[in-house]
Amino acid sequence: MTLAQQLTPIRRILVALDASRASVDVLEAAAAMAAQLEAELEGLYVEDINLLRLAGLPFSREVGLASARSRRVVSADVGRALRREAERARHALEVIATRRQVHYSFRVARGQVAAELLAAAAQADLVALATASMEIRRTRLGSTARAMLASPARALLILPPREDARAALAIVYDGSPRASQVLALAGQIAHGTSAVTVFLLADHPEEEQRQRAEVTRVLAGHGIRPEFEWVVEVDIAQLARRVRELRVGTLLVAEDCPGLGRAGVHELLQAIDCAVLLLR
């Protein structure tokens, strides 16, 4: 058993796949993580039962988002489209996992998307998914992501649609045991390859010094020399702005981080535009 598994036993990473570009980005990120953690990838494509039902209704019509034209939804067409999407998702998984030399499996489920994902998430150590696409989402986190937040999934990797790839990693650390797990996970993921910034949530200098020493010690074991940002007074908006300024690629945070509080963490998730690895 490796050190990583002792600290953060992530063995199965579930990736919610669809035909979008964001989904491929998620797959890439998840595969990279799986390679670092020696975990297995499980690709899940959910055929939306709502869509299939809609297609069976006599009056169903859709409006094309690109053409803005209304047309009949034909059951056979929908079935073909879903199969095609599933095949594309499988192919993408195969290519990326092979390249990363990661074990993978792929399956197609039919049902309510969130419900199917929730069911699958119960078997996974980490669930990776994209936030909703820009045009139709109602909040930064789509309905599926919100459903996953409400689920008991142990860890979530949520990726926004991005134009540029950012490698920088950031950690929210408050000295708690959960934060220590986040720190250990960060060490394994980054492992000397990228810049790491640690936000130390400490309300007095001695605590900050203690945390800094601890973080330095742990990350040094992975060949990482982190940069520190001391957060004396937690202000989610200010923290989010700093994350944006530092062009953080992925933020690692424990959902039950005492320094931020669960609500604070959820607020932070809404306010930042980078990927988030949420440890629960």
Residues at the contact surface with other proteins, assessed by CB under 8 A: 19, 48-51, 53-54, 56-66, 68, 70, 73, 78, 81-82, 85, 112, 134-139, 241, 244-245, 273
Q: Which residues pair with 223 in a beta bridge?
A: none
Residue with smaller CB distance to other proteins, 142 or 175: 142
Least distance in angstroms from the C-beta of 26 to other proteins = 17
Q: Identity (one letter) of the amino acid at 253? A: V
Least distance in angstroms from the C-beta of 279 to other proteins = 27
In sign, the C-alpha dihedral spanning 268, 274, 275, 277 is negative
Residue with smaller CB distance to other proteins, 233 or 245: 245
Coil, strand or helix: which one is 17?
Answer: strand
| CA pair distance 93, 77, nearest whole angstrom | 24
Least distance in angstroms from the C-beta of 84 to other proteins = 8
Residue with smaller CB distance to other proteins, 12 or 247: 247
| CA pair distance 172, 158, nearest whole angstrom | 16
Cβ distance 53 to 110 under 8 Å?
no
Residue with smaller CB distance to other proteins, 64 or 152: 64
Residue with smaller CB distance to other proteins, 12 or 88: 88
| CA pair distance 117, 153, nearest whole angstrom | 10
Least distance in angstroms from the C-beta of 183 to other proteins = 28
Q: Residue 88, Cβ neighbours under 10 Å: how many?
A: 16
Least distance in angstroms from the C-beta of 134 to other proteins = 6
